[in-house]
Amino acid sequence: MAELSRREMLIGTAVGGGAITLMLAGPVVGFLLSPLFTKRRTETAVIGPIDSVPVNTPTPFIARLNEGDGWNIGPIPRVVYVVKYQQVVGPGQPPPTLLVFSNTCTHMQCDVHWDGTFVGAGDPVLNGRFICPCHGGLYLMNGTNIYGPPPSPLPQWVHEVFTGEDGKTYVRIQNDFTEKI
Amino acid sequence: MVEATKVKLRPLYQWLDDRMGISALMNSALHEAVPEQGGWAYTLGSATLILIALQIVTGIFLTMMYVPSFHESYQSLHYLQTNDLFGAWVRGMHLWGSYTLMLVIGLHMIRTFMTASYKRPRELNWVSGALLFFVVLGLAITGAMLPGDQAAYWTMTVVTNIPHYIPFIGDYIRWLWRGGKFIGPITFTRTYGIHIWLLPPMLLGLIGLHLYLLRRHGEFGAWVNYDTEGPDPDREIAARIAKVEPPYPSRDVDPKFAAPNRTVDFFPNQVFKDTLVSLLLVAVVFVMALLMGAPLDGPANPATLTYVPTPEWFYLPLDQLLVLGPQTWLIAFVVFVIPGITATLFILLPFIDRSPERNPLRRAHIIVPGLFVIFMMVTLSVLGINRLYNL
């Protein structure tokens, strides 16, 4: 075997060491990043009937939704707040809008809950608050973030409304929000 | 008859010592000079080490029962708490060990800060210690995320959501940590991997560096260890340096602080104090684990309308900062900028406070900002307790 020069030896060792590092790092980093390239499963769940939900009164339903990421671990309970929101109550007004909220706070994603005891100054939308127990964020019944750290309104579930075989109204929700939070 | 059965240990030890060099190793490990005065204050470092060892031992045994999964994490710990004879005790020791560790690390840092032990040539002792502190914080928060009960689930939710406020790449980091959009099976395996395999080797490596640097430069002690008594300080200091034992005199330093005025041998003097303090702390952990144990709420429920999540006490200041910083850019400000600047200044402290002065009374420009940080953390904690527990 021919004599190696100091220069050849150092270059050879550096190239070899670099190759070893790359062969380890490539698969490992790819493995680490793989959730970014893995397609989410679309999962749905049905809640309802929602016919008896009163106007301007957020009403919680529990949807049992499968996780969309990773292996299936069975349905996970999720809260769906159904709100029939009517800005001005009275005869001759447009019909209520159906809002289908998640109870996920847009600040740190804690579970908010509806507290109807606040009374607004005559305006129905000011009655009651969604309260986040973690850092004190408050939302109105139409999802507007009005106080505390939440940076954006309460998210809605991706959903479709349909009439069941019993003639009542149901909502099918999907494991995604309409807004990015 | 007794003589006949007596095992001759001395030849056996001699045989081992010839092959392994045990005596030489023990001599170099146990015999070195340490400052005579203030030895009780210098026990906090070894106490930290013993408590970390306790965490590793209890943690290893907890892996023999715990399952890192969305549902089974809770089930396995519930079984450990209720059906296993000593399970609750071991888990209690892991929790109270972490609490005690957090307190002792805090005291160790305050001691080092007050006595300016981080000054030349010990800058990297401080930097490695500061990094150790952040690794321990990482271990504490990932540990709090794992039990699979309500407290852990909401800790997991909030903590994995925080990276989302990093500009540009935040959403990807949140997605990668969770392994998806919501908390799911991959969140548990990843957090567990970080808690037991990623952070502990970093911890051990930094401990190795920290101890190596301690032995290289010697224990600094405090300003009182460098006082002179006679009318001729220069001669006194020169005599001190001439007769001091290794690892002193310290290299690259003002002669006044190169060697302590009086030293004692690490063994038995300091070892005895270290052992006594560690014994006391481990006993506290042992008893608190038995009396209080570690709490386990109901199983994680992502659809709760009543549960009020509360952070671990050592994260209360940061949690309260979250409350005080409404709106998007302020969230990034309070989550990253304020703690980030504080952490950077904290790590780089030896390169900021560079004067040879060690007496805290003559370092007001450093001590006052330090006390202000401590005061802010206490104030934020009090505000947080008031908010969460309605006192």
CATH number at residue A83: 2.102.10.10
On whether both A28 and A96 belong to a single domain, the answer is no
Which SS3 state, helix, strand or coil, does residue A152 take? coil
Out of A33, A68, A71, name the one closest to residue B181 (CB). Answer: A68
Which domain range does residue B94 map to? 36-311
Which SS3 state, helix, strand or coil, does residue A145 take? strand
Report yes or no: B308 at the A interface, CB cutoff 8 Å.
Answer: yes
CA gap A67, A22 in Å, rounded: 34
On whether both A30 and A107 belong to a single domain, the answer is no
On whether both A123 and A173 belong to a single domain, the answer is yes
Report yes or no: B267 at the A interface, CB cutoff 8 Å.
Answer: no
CA gap A110, A105 in Å, rounded: 5
The answer to whether residue B248 is domain-embedded is yes
Q: Do B181 and A74 touch (CB under 8 A)?
A: no
Mean pLDDT within A140-159: 95
On whether both A13 and A99 belong to a single domain, the answer is no
On whether both A107 and A162 belong to a single domain, the answer is yes
Q: What does the pLDDT read at residue A31?
A: 95
Chain A contacts of B302, Cβ < 8 Å? 76-78, 111
Q: How confident is the model at residue B247 (pLDDT cuts 50, 70, 90)?
A: very high
The answer to whether residue B353 is domain-embedded is no
With b meaning 16 or more CB within 10 Å and e meaning fewer, what string describes B192-205?
Answer: bebbbeebbeebee
Query: Which residue of chain B has the CA closest to A67?
Result: B184
Q: How confident is the model at residue A1 (pLDDT cuts 50, 70, 90)?
A: low
Q: For B74-125, what is each residue's pLDDT tens digit? A: 999 999 999 999 999 999 999 999 999 999 999 999 999 999 999 999 999 9
Retrieve residue A58's tokens: 């957020």
pLDDT of B52 over the 90 cut: yes
On whether both A87 and A121 belong to a single domain, the answer is yes
On whether both A63 and A130 belong to a single domain, the answer is yes
| Total count of domains within chain B | 1
Count Cβ atoms below 10 Å from residue A9 Cβ, excluding itself.
10
Out of A32, A76, A111, name the one closest to residue B305 (CB). Answer: A111
Question: Of B179, B151, B192, B155, nearest to B69 (Cα)?
Answer: B192
Q: What does the pLDDT read at residue B138?
A: 98
pLDDT of B188 over the 80 cut: yes
On whether both A141 and A88 belong to a single domain, the answer is yes
The answer to whether residue B209 is domain-embedded is yes
Q: Is the peptide bond before B249 cis (omega within 30 degrees of 0)?
A: yes
The answer to whether residue B257 is domain-embedded is yes
On whether both A33 and A51 belong to a single domain, the answer is no
Which domain range does residue A171 map to? 44-177
CATH number of the domain residue B230 falls in: 1.20.810.10
| Total count of domains within chain A | 2
On whether both A52 and A120 belong to a single domain, the answer is yes
On whether both A72 and A156 belong to a single domain, the answer is yes
Chain B contacts of A108, Cβ < 8 Å? 157-158, 161-162, 322
On whether both A29 and A49 belong to a single domain, the answer is no
Mean pLDDT within B200-222: 97
Chain A contacts of B176, Cβ < 8 Å? 32-33, 35-36
Q: Do A175 and B185 touch (CB under 8 A)?
A: no
pLDDT of A46 over the 80 cut: yes
The answer to whether residue B366 is domain-embedded is no
Report yes or no: B157 at the A interface, CB cutoff 8 Å.
Answer: yes
CA gap B133, B128 in Å, rounded: 9
Report yes or no: B174 at the A interface, CB cutoff 8 Å.
Answer: no
